[in-house]
């Protein structure tokens, strides 16, 4: 889920040419740009990771809230291909 603010940031950094015919960001087009240029990859990560972490934290909070009396610790795994480079 991309926020409206992130959507605008992506358009400002990568231009409207990254939009598909449906008006959404076309990941294929965007990917071609960022995988060729490490600077653009960093810009995309700077835009997207705060939102990714926010959504991830919301999911963890929901899981904890579902069973707050559970004595077992919550174990959560986040798969992220480019989290660490």
- Check residue 58 and give its pLDDT: 92
Exposure string over 7-38, b if 16+ CB within 10 A, otherwise e? eebbeebbeeebbeeeeebeeeebeebbeeee
- pLDDT(83) > 60: no
Task: Provide the mean pLDDT of the chain.
Answer: 87
pLDDT, average across residues 57-77: 80
What's residue 75's pLDDT?
Answer: 76
């Amino acid at each position: 889920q991309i926020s409206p603010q992130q959507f605008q940031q992506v358009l400002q950094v990568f231009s409207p040419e990254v939009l598909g015919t449906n008006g959404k960001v076309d990941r294929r087009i965007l990917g071609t740009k960022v995988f060729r240029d490490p600077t653009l990859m960093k810009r995309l990560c700077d835009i997207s990771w705060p939102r990714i972490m926010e959504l991830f934290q919301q999911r963890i909070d929901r899981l904890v809230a579902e069973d707050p009396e559970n004595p077992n610790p919550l174990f959560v795994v986040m798969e992220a291909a480019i989290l660490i480079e």
